[in-house]
Structure 1
Amino acid sequence: MMLFLLKIILTIFALLATCVVLPQLPLGLLRFVLRGVGWIIQKRTRSRREYILSRVRAEEAESQNKPAKSSAGEDEEDWEKVDNSSSDGSGTAGSNGQDQWDGIVGFFHPFCNAGGGGERVLWEAVRATQKRWPKAICAIYTGDHEVNKAAMLERVQTRFNIHLHTPTVVLLYLSTRKYVVSSMYPYMTLLGQSLGSLVVAYDAFTLLVPDIFVDTMGYAFSLAFCKLLFPSVPVGAYVHYPTISTDMLQSLDDSSGLKGINAGAGKGVRGQIKRKYWLAFAKLYGWVGGHVDVVMCNSSWTAAHIRAIWGPSRAEAQAQQLLPYKEPTVVFPPTAVSELESTIAVDAASESATREPLILYIAQFRPEKNHPLLLRSFARFLRDYRRTHTGGKDPQLVLIGSVRHASPDETHIYNLRLLAHELRIRDQTTFLCDASWPAILEHLGRASVGVNAMWNEHFGICVVEYQAAGLISVVHDSGGPREDIVVDLGDGATGFRASTEEEFAAAFEAALALPMEEKVAMRLRARRSALRFTEEEFARKWIGEVEKLVRMQTSQ
């Protein structure tokens, strides 16, 4: 029965997608049908909603009856303290009675146990939401069936040092996550995953229809689907990376091979078909963006691309008074800047006592992170280094990242190990999978250089961690690292930028060869730069944007 309903839903949305290209079709009729489907879903899930509410309140009461105890410097009673601050300083939250808002915020994040930067954003967002609205429920839609809530939150604490109030966190387990896995779609992957997210979103809504629905992973189609099914449910997006961007379209004509995995793929008949498919998808993606009430972007680069692709549709929707907010807001991802500053010293004494000629790359082990470029660059650098430094200890390369088990990630890291062996840098290269936060801290304290090799990295949380820990950054000259992070704020450079294997190798040499005085000065400049990306700054801006959604929900 469920499979039959899913086929109907996908057929309806496919017709809606066709309407984007052929506006003369009865779009209004299809919207009406979807609203009817939404009404049925809400009616059928009402009892489950009541059960979830009663279970959360019972856990809350049980938690309050336990003896108070401190956790990472925070008492349980702190969760009852409401942050009345608002990002716009209007103070409307209190005047509208939102302080005691006790609705359900649904976070759509099917891979919430992945342990990457996107997951840090999710759990920091949950923490900020809990502190602002202590009575609200944070429901996370996840496909991580192998992990229960206790184990999930324990890993969040171990990996990110984020402590959450357990009773008001609810995990809702999806049974259809496989439909958003890229390996399911060897061809037309963008469209396949986007339509697959509709199946997963339908699965989520049959578990619980939230009062506010937020996508924190990049499945924008799920937000438009929610808005069509439940027009009264405000939806928000935290965009880490646009599903398709103008840079991706331009990369089809790139002859250098440096612009991502699709560089130069626009040649020939097959390339022209790909180009037309991408252009059609970009139009559909833009239409989807016109249905999102509040849009947050993780960097200036992401915001610029969202404006370019979603802008026309959002402007039209706002002109029709269907959309309250047109412009996206840049909300930089949270980074543990304060903890890194207090834990890791940056001065002349630590430079000689603890820093080593160690190059560190913190990134999930996925193809887009371009670990092969780093390995080849390090091998080139090491060959040149040995010619001028004889008898000393070789610099080391450490790669730290999470691995999604039972996924292509495991094959990817196996191939990376083979490449390190072929490049004859196996003894100088260390792979650390799913490292704990203490282990990451230890390496940040010892390393001299932090690297990011991804083309058009949407932001680069690891680069901010490098800066906060006092590392000298060597990053790809594109995306968020170029536009937001490794920038000169007026008092000198905070790192190096590179694009090619040769440029990365030269940057490694330059960074390690700096005189001690200049090394310390650059590390301190980088640390000051990182203050723009604190957890507190993220929480302040996140709350300001979610307050918009709460106002929409409470004013109905």
Structure 2
Amino acid sequence: MEPLYIFLSILTISIGLVAAIIALSMTIAAIFSTILFLFVPLSIALLLSIIILRIKFSSKRDNSVTSIGFFHPYCTAGGGGERVLWQAIKTTQEHYPDIKIFVYTGDTIPDSQIFDKVKNTFDIELNRNNCKFKRLLRRKWVEASTFPRFTLIGQSLGSMVLAYEALTLLNPTIFIDTMGYAFSYPIFSILAGSTVACYVHYPTISSDMISRVQSNSESFNNSSTISRSKILTLAKLIYYNIFAKIYWIVGSMSKLVLANGTWTGNHIANIWKKEIGKDLFVVYPPVDVESRKELPLDWMNRKNVILSISQFRPEKNQALQIQTLAHLLSKYPVHKNQLNTKLILVGSTRDQGDRDRVEQLKQLAHDLGVANHVDFQIGVSASELNNLFSEASVGIHTMTAEHFGIGVVEMMAAGVIPVAHNSAGPKEDIVKPDITGFLATTKEEYAEYIHEILAYREKYTDMQKKARESVDRFSDENFNSNYLKHMKPLIDSCVTPINKKDQ
């Protein structure tokens, strides 16, 4: 990392010169000169550092082979984003067997355990001889807990630090970000000379986020302290708008952008000034619909179970699910007595914050008097989840502006009728209201739809079947086909002849 030290030394000297000039400057002309001296030395220092680093990293790349580096610092998390990563790697391995595949990760477990987890979690078998891991030691720089204030810019700058570390480990021919760290793009595009591509699950900032601040709406990322203060709201709006401009600059460095759905695609097209169908394409994520479709529909014999599947994160808003249940039992006592309706919340916890959130939700259920009708199941196995899928009748989803909604798709494939939030992914790509499920916003709306489904079950046999039939577009096969369709031209433009498999 010697060039980095050179860069810092040059910056230090430049800043020292500027300080000396300011101390001697007493006239307007001198102040003007100071501004020039501030801009010119720093610009020259930055340019020289970029040139030095570009030469250094370019000389380290093995141009006799084509390599792809997937940037996914949390590759063992086991969620939908990780399924995208491994399915993309598997598809690449099958069509370009001679291309060298690398994954940048902060996970420290042995390679064999990572491959075993991929197989056990997603039933994806990779070519283990052609997928190597580059271990990142500075992953804390992209964790929200590292930046309790100014989290957006903190994590973004942190991702640049992490990306620089990744670059020191390997300079790939193609760099593919599959976690949404857009600020890593200039590191690999400018310093490494790599071709950059990305799969975006959700924009780091969106017009929706800015609108919520403008309207003084309280949310998980806009505290009541800010929403009640005009000065703080104005300051946050300025911060968000400046960040959005920088986000556009770094996003423009990706030659190919794949988005996981219509909502994400439209927001990215708007912010990054991309054109859908030209340099931005919607590619639905792979969902395990086949194994879910093997479960029996058996609608009339299913239990009066409302199933929730999601991590226990603040934005998932499981509190609304418990409030919905309380409203349902209060307005329609039949669910408390004859029907014995239950809410089962299935999910995983990432850290102590998530575990504390589970305890808070349990307390909420107790306070609302519905604890006997609520069951929390943390970290269930695949077989246990399938049992829940085969028993449940209704699936509830309450996240506002969910970028896609893999859990909703899985429910529909398993024969569980969804009542999802009326926004973003579920609204634009997944649920057709009154045909394959329902969309709601308030606890009253959720409760009415759930009551209708459970109390008049015989009316919804056809909806269950149509919901299952609608999910084939989210299959592994569809993802493989669409991912390769859009990624192939980019890979072919970079690939060396020996790496290309005849199609």
TM-score bin, normalised by smaller chain: 0.7 to 0.9
Q: Is 1:426 matched with 2:426?
A: no
Secondary structure of the residue that 2:133 maps to in structure 1?
strand
With over 3 angstroms needed to count, the CA separation of the structure-2 counterparts of 1:24 and 1:392, relative to structure 1, is farther
> What is the alpha-carbon distance in structure 2 between the residues aligned to residue 278 and residue 222 of structure 1?
19
Q: TM-score, normalised by structure 1?
A: 0.78
Counterpart-to-counterpart distance in 2, 1:166 and 1:532: 29
Stretch deviating more after TM superposition (296-305 or 417-426): 417-426
Aligned equivalent of 1:248: 209
Structure 1 counterpart of 2:289, from 305, 326, 337: 337
Is 2:3–2:52's contact at 8 Å kept on the other side of the alignment?
no
Aligned counterparts of 1:397 and 1:390: Cα–Cα separation in 2: 12
Q: CA deviation at 1:197?
A: 0.1
Show the counterpart of 2:107: 144
- Alignment partner, residue 27 of structure 2: none
Aligned pairs (5 A) from 1:172-211:
172-211=134-173
Output one character per residue of 1:303-329: Cα deviation in whole Å (capped at 9) or x when no partner. Answer: 111111100xx58xxxxxxxxx95310
Match of 1:289 among 242, 251, 254: 251
Question: Is there any run of 5+ residues in structure 1 with no aligned partner, and where?
Answer: 16-21, 51-100, 316-324
Query: 2:80 matched to which residue of 1?
Result: 117
- The equivalent of 2:52 in structure 1 is 36
SS, match of residue 494 in structure 1 = coil
User: Following superposition of structure 1 onto structure 2, how do residues 79-478 of structure 1 map, counting pairs within 5 Å?
Assistant: 103-145=66-108, 147-231=109-193, 233-254=194-215, 257=218, 261-262=221-222, 265-266=226-227, 267-311=229-273, 326-341=278-293, 343-346=294-297, 350-353=298-301, 355-385=302-332, 387-389=333-335, 391-405=337-351, 408-478=353-423
Q: Percent identity, aligned pairs only?
A: 37
| Alpha-carbon shift at residue 444 of structure 1 (Å) | 1.1
The equivalent of 2:493 in structure 1 is 552
Partner of 1:85: none
Deviation (angstroms), 1:165: 2.1
CA offset at residue 32 of structure 1? 5.7
TM-score (norm 2): 0.86
C-alpha distance in structure 2 between counterparts of 1:5 and 1:326, whole Å: 40
Contact 1:114-1:403 within 8 A present in 2 as well: no
| In structure 2, distance between residues paired with 1:333 and 1:215 | 15
Deviations 1:103-138 (A, max 9, x none): 322111111121221112112212222222223332
Corresponding residue for 2:28?
A: none
**RMSD across aligned positions (CA):** 3.0
Shift of 1:29: 7.6
How far the C-alpha of 1:415 sits from its partner, in A, is 2.5
Check if 1:510 corresponds to 2:452: yes
Contact 2:312 2:357 in 1 (8 A): yes
Equivalent-residue separation in structure 2 for 1:25 and 1:335 (angstroms): 52
SS of alignment partner, residue 285 of structure 2? coil
Partner Cα separation in structure 2 for residue 462 and residue 501 of structure 1: 20
Residue from 464, 475, 488 that aligns with 1:534:
475
Structure 2: gaps (5+ residues): 16-37, 498-503
Q: CA separation in 1, counterparts of 2:292 and 2:350? A: 26
Larger Rg: 2
User: For residues 410 and 388 of structure 1, what CA distance do their matches in structure 2 show?
Assistant: 33
Q: In structure 2, what residue type is equivalent to 1:160? A: F
**Is the CA contact 2:141–2:155 (under 8 Å) kept in the aligned structure 1?**
yes
Conserved 8 A contact 2:66-2:495: no
Q: Give yes or no for the alignment of 1:485 onto 2:430.
A: yes
